[in-house]
Structure 1
Amino acid sequence: MALKKISLILSICIGASFAARSAVPDSLVLSLDNCIAIALDDNLTIKVADMEITRMDYSKKETIGQLLPSISFGATYNRTLAKQTMYMNMGRSSQSSQNSGEDNKGNEQQTQSSSSNSGIKVGLDNSFSMGFQASLPLIAPQLWKTLSLSDSKILESVEQARTSRLQLINQVKNAYYTLMLALDSHKVICESYDMAKFTADLYSKQYELGAASQYDVLRTQVAVKNVEPELTQAQIAIKRAQLQLSILLGMTSDIKLMPNVTLAHYESSMYDDVMHIDTTLQNNPDLRLLDIQTRQLDNALTIQKMSWYPTLALTANYNWTSMSNGSPFKNFRWNPYSMIGAYRSLKAANDTPASSRHAYSLTK
């Protein structure tokens, strides 16, 4: 019997220890700085903004790559199904030459006439070609200006990421301060409820002793009932503020977030904080973003105008060719050849609609 009691006690203790380890804490106390750090680390909007900066950086590198030498390798094979036929006109140049050579070249003219009528087959069965092609842009004004536009896009992405961070920090601060206000309001309402409850109990005891009227008892009880809805609303406000803060931090709703300070903590420094607030618009993110977008439109208009500018590129290639008859896997005769040159391009006609050109000016 004693052994059964000991085993039962041990099982209860072990079960309680496992339950204590697996239990989720009811509340989590965090400071404002911790909340901001968690929100910035886990927020998807911030991650997307950072990835957008990386994407724009790759776009700029792609533009820079167009200014660098490009080398490509290619190979072709052609099989001739029907060879070309070439005809030659061996007519005589003058009547005098016809009369003078009529006796000596009679047989030759007959042979040439027969060959010109039948034609000559030209070409081989197999044709191979492979080699390297290289090009280097020497003068490319439009690409040069596109780099400035890429820089503006990177600055725009950085400013948008900064704006997203500032907005998120502002939302976290508002939710944190709202939670502190809801907790302090709940505390004040609880004190009012306790006072009303104490007054109602006091008048009830006095009424039992005959020292108070029934009207006073009813009046104090009604006062208690009037405070109860406010107490319920304060509890709902706390839950709503905790849920809003949990959403911003990316946490589940089963963890109750609590601040580590109260509003009384800011009484000594709130006036200094208000006096040191920067009221200028120098670092306003919206104005900075508008300034960057204006520069982007100027660069885009300049790029479109630069499409009329001439471009110059250096080209070079080194190829090998081979031609043979019969099987394509033998009788290779590779012959290399190479060349170098310059390619100049000048736009002669405008292929951009007029509405697109006017859109740049109107947007600017």
Structure 2
Amino acid sequence: MHRNRSKKHLLNSLLPAVFMLFAASACTLHAQETHTPQSTIQTPVKLTLPDAISLALEHNRDVQVAAKDIDDAEARIKEVYGRAYPQLNGNVSYTRNIELPVLFIPPNTPFNPSPKAQKFEMGLKNDVVAGVSASQVLFDPQLNTGIQIAKRYRNYAELSSDSKQEEIVRDVKIAFYAVLLSERLVDVARQSVELAQAHYDNIKAHYDQGTAAEFDLLRAEVQLANARPQLSRQENGLALSKDNLKLKIGLEPQQQLDIIGNLAVEAAPETDTESDIDNLIASNTMIRALKAQEAMLEKNISIENAAYFPVLSAFANYNYQAQDNSLNIGDYEWVNTFMAGLTLSVPLFNGFQTKHRVAQARIGMDRAVLSRMQIEDGIRLALDQAKLDLKEAKERYDALAQSVGQAHRAVDIADVRFRSGVGTQLEVLDSQTALAQTESEQALAAFDYFAALAEWEKLTSSMREN
């Protein structure tokens, strides 16, 4: 079970790196022509966990996208505020009256005493108008609410960015610990090869002297042959885990890494009691972002309700106009017109559209609340799971720490017994296999511990910062 969990963490963290290896091998010739200096790539970068986190927060694409969302929120606030400022527009128009408009005068009137209607052409062939118009909203409930929504959207974007950064930090931690795990497994596999090689050399020397059977020599050869492929697999796993880490922190695939760190498990952190779980959930960045979204949707209900209220605006128009039958604009006689006034728009009936838009806004609000409650339940479960994983991994690591010392002692004893002619080759091989397995299990326990710790720190980061 524990091994399966460790493998799941490794597969989740190493899967993107598999695609990087294919991409890197397909672009080998192109990589030689990149702008990155070859000497820089060949020089290993010494990398601690804080260095890796800093690089990820600087270069990770998801973090950059979240930062753009904040910029977008700022732009939206300014856009909404712009609607509260006076609106000023200029216009110039030219109209060619191909057929002049006609005014009809009714018959038998003081202006037309004849029994037939008379018609008179109005205007001239060319009409030129240049003007400026201005308007100012004086009362609009939707505008005021829109400003409040824009501010809440900025808060939501900032919290979403923080939540994304916490996810990136957790993923980088797990990827960093995966490299340390792979390095430890390489060391264990290399030690197995060295022990198998030393045992084979000893058996070969006895065989050459006639004091060891051919069967013993063959078993030693098989043991050595089996150990070498295992070392190769672990070295490939190390390359994959390093590529995955480089992908997450934004380094070139060709860049060499020198990881500084270890998998030494110290005292487990103090986990909060059950009474503090509600505070942890309430302070979780994702939950705070969802509550900011709810506040935004609540104001959206207000903005839809505001459609029931009238809108009052002021306006002013200034025009410079002339008409003439010729195209000689310099000879036109220009006149000025200026007007100003108020406009009151009162909604009377729109087919109940406003009513249904308010209902939709309320449904969106209710949906957001239910989604947030569901995520709170998931976080509560994740907190419990992280606490249990931390405890279990720490206990497993401590138990295996003693077993590793005993396994080393068993290898030494088995080797001495065999050299003295008291022990058997089976004792030597079994002790070497047990040592490799115990050291590997201890490394996996340490990785499980740090992976659970990374998850716990992500879930409780806001509380610790506060």
Place the TM-score, normalised by the shorter chain, in its bin. 0.7 to 0.9
Question: In 1, Cα distance between the equivalents of 2:218 and 2:175?
Answer: 40
Q: Which has the larger radius of gyration?
A: 1
Match of 2:48 among 13, 20, 31: 31
Give the distance between the partners of 1:40 and 1:91, measured in 2 at CA: 86
- Report the counterpart of residue 158 of structure 2 in structure 1: 158
Q: Does 1:113 align with 2:114?
A: yes
**Which residue identity is paired with 2:84?**
L
Q: Check if 1:48 corresponds to 2:49.
A: no
Q: How much has 1:149 moved relative to structure 2?
A: 1.1
1:271 has 2:267 as partner: yes
- State which drifts further: 73-82 or 131-140: 73-82
Whether the 8 Å contact between 1:45 and 1:164 is mirrored in structure 2 is yes
- Is the 8 Å Cα contact of residues 104 and 117 (structure 2) preserved in structure 1? no
Alignment of 1:177-326 (within 5 A): 177-264=177-264, 267=265, 270-271=266-267, 274-275=269-270, 280-326=280-326
The alpha-carbon distance between structure 1 residues 211 and 301, as it changes in their structure 2 partners (threshold 3 A), is: same
Kept after mapping to 1: 8 A contact 2:312/2:342: yes
Q: Which residue of the other structure, out of 70, 81, 89, is the alignment partner of 2:107? A: 89
CA–CA distance in structure 2, aligned partners of residues 262 and 119 of structure 1: 101
Give me the whole-angstrom Cα distance separating, in 2, the residues matched to 1:257 and 1:201. 35
1:142 aligns with 2:142: yes
CA deviation string 1:242-273 (max 9, x = no partner): 11112112333333322023324xx4xx326x
Give the whole-Å Cα distance in 1 for the aligned partners of 2:103 and 2:310.
43
Cα deviation 1:192-234 (Å, max 9, x = unaligned):
2212221221122123334444444333333323323322221
Where 1:185 maps in the other structure, the secondary structure is helix
Q: Whole-Å Cα distance in 2 between the matches of residues 324 and 218 of structure 1? A: 115
Aligned counterpart, 1:65: 82
Paired residue for 1:359? Answer: 360
Please give the secondary structure, in 1, of the residue aligned with 2:329.
coil
Distance 1:155 1:302 in 2: 19
SS at match of 1:113: coil
> Where does structure 2 lack aligned partners over 5 or more consecutive residues?
1-36, 367-466
- Residue 304 of structure 1 aligns with an amino acid whose one-letter code is E
Assess, with a 3 A threshold, how the Cα gap between structure 1 residues 91 and 207 changes in structure 2: closer, same or farther: closer
TM-score normalised per structure 2: 0.62
Aligned amino acid, residue 296 of structure 2: Q
Per-residue deviation, 1:143: 0.7
Aligned match of 1:175: 175
SS of 1:253's equivalent in the other structure is coil
Is residue 182–residue 237 contact of structure 1 (8 Å, CA) maintained in 2?
A: yes
What is the one-letter code of the residue matched to 1:221?
A: E
Query: How many residues matched?
Result: 321
Pair 1:353–1:229, CA change in 2 (3 A): farther
Residue 17 (structure 1) aligns with: none
- SS in structure 2 of the partner of residue 127 of structure 1: strand
Q: What is the aligned-residue identity percentage?
A: 21
| 1:217–1:335 distance in 2 versus 1, CA, 3 Å | same
**Alpha-carbon separation, structure 1, partners of 2:233 and 2:271:** 35
The structure richer in helix per residue is 2
Give yes or no for contact 1:246–1:253 (8 Å, CA) kept in 2: yes
Change (3 A) 1:353 1:225: farther
Residue 83 of structure 1 contacts residue 124 of structure 1 at CA under 8 Å; is this kept in 2?
no
Unaligned runs of at least 5 residues, structure 1: 1-20, 93-108
* Greater alpha carbon shift after TM alignment, 148-157 vs 247-256: 247-256
The Cα shift of 1:345 comes to 1.1
Aligned partners of 1:209, 1:117: CA distance in 2, in Å? 140
| Offset of residue 58 of structure 1 | 1.0
Could you tell me how far 1:282 is from its partner in structure 2?
3.6
> Within the alignment, does 1:77 sit opposite 2:94 as a pair?
yes
- Match for residue 398 of structure 2? none
Bigger Cα displacement from structure 2, 303-312 vs 250-259: 250-259
**Residue identity in the other structure for 1:34:** D
Contact 1:26 1:254 in 2 (8 A): no
Aligned residues of 1:126 and 1:328 also touching (Cα < 8 A) = no
Report the counterpart of residue 446 of structure 2 in structure 1. Answer: none
RMSD: 2.9
- Give the CA deviation at 1:327: 4.0
**TM score, norm. by length of structure 1:** 0.78
Q: Identify if the C-alpha distance between structure 1 residues 241 and 117 changes in structure 2 by more than 3 Å, giving closer, same or farther.
A: closer
- Which is worse superposed, 172-181 or 207-216? 207-216
Classify 1:225/1:126 alpha carbon distance in 2 versus 1 (closer, same or farther; 3 Å).
closer
- Structure 1: distance between partners of 2:188 and 2:153: 52
Give secondary structure in 2 for the equivalent of 1:348: coil
CA–CA separation in structure 2 for the residues paired with 1:135 and 1:301: 27
Retained in 2: the 8 A contact 1:60–1:147?
yes
Aligned counterpart, 1:15: none
**How far apart are 1:276 and its partner, in Å?**
6.9
